[in-house]
Copies of this chain bind each other. A is one copy, B any other.
Amino acid sequence: MRFISETTSNGVSERLFTLGEISGVLWTPADAAGSRPLVLLGHGGGQHKKAPAVLAHAHHYATTRGLAAAAIDAPLHGDRPKNEEGDRLLAVVRERVAAGEPIAGPLAEYNAALADLAVPEWRITLDALQHLDDVGAGPVGYWGVSMGTGIGVPLVAVEPRITAAVFGLASHESLADAASRITVPIRFLLQWDDEMVPRASGLALFDAFASPEKTLHANPGGHRDVPALELESSGRFLTRHLVEAYVAAA
């Protein structure tokens, strides 16, 4: 893991890093010393590691909650190179949108192809982050909706270090199987009028998680209309579980 820049603003230290092909960013409270819980932030499709929604969550965790947060560019996103197969899969999605046809199928296929690459990248990033003095090997949470769920569900299904997760805005088709292997506490966000995810398919994905503790929060509006209060609420949820685990391990 090679740090290529460090800046501080509004009480948050932001460090850009690379790790082989991976490009990422780590946020910590500016005065951080010692280990602390870590939240992995998965960005949405077409976005990148410093997209506005990711930054809002990163600053929330570092300032309001005193935790560390990290994001990496998904394959084909942000600073990562594009490739032909990715372009082909995206073109299918765009043709469907243009034709007014359902996109859940091709979108799930695109996200699944990215997840195959992204899951091992997240895991080696987590290995490296846990060696840092101001992160450490404490409890880890995951937050990511839409494509962040398309990658996050397969990740959390295989990564035992992640002990709580926020997902949402995703269809069940390609994810139900991985979801059925997840047992950690889950918060699931669903938009009641999501134009990209059929309501029944989102409800089916929530249903698929094996987690004894899981809560669905559904709000009116489309894919991009998640109420701002859900940031605060998911921050409370993740922090409660991660800090409880941190105290229990101490």
Contacts of A233 in B (CB 8 A): 233
Number of A residues, CB within 8 Å of B: 15
Interface string of A216-240 (1 = CB under 8 A from B): 1111100000010000010000000
Contacts of A212 in B (CB 8 A): 220
- Judged by a CB distance under 8 angstroms, whether A8 is at the interface is no
Contact of A215 among B206, B207, B213, B218 (CB under 8 A): B218
A201 to chain B, nearest CB (A): 14
Q: Is the CB of B220 within 8 A of A218?
A: no
- Judged by a CB distance under 8 angstroms, whether A214 is at the interface is yes
Contact of A219 among B192, B207, B215, B220 (CB under 8 A): B215
Q: Is the CB of A218 within 8 A of B219?
A: no
Residue ranges of A at the interface with B (Cβ–Cβ < 8 Å): 192, 203, 206-207, 212-220, 227, 233
What are 20 A-B pairs with beta-carbon distances under 8 A? A192-B207, A192-B216, A203-B203, A206-B218, A212-B220, A213-B220, A213-B227, A214-B219, A214-B220, A215-B217, A215-B218, A215-B219, A215-B227, A216-B216, A216-B217, A216-B218, A216-B219, A217-B217, A218-B218, A233-B233
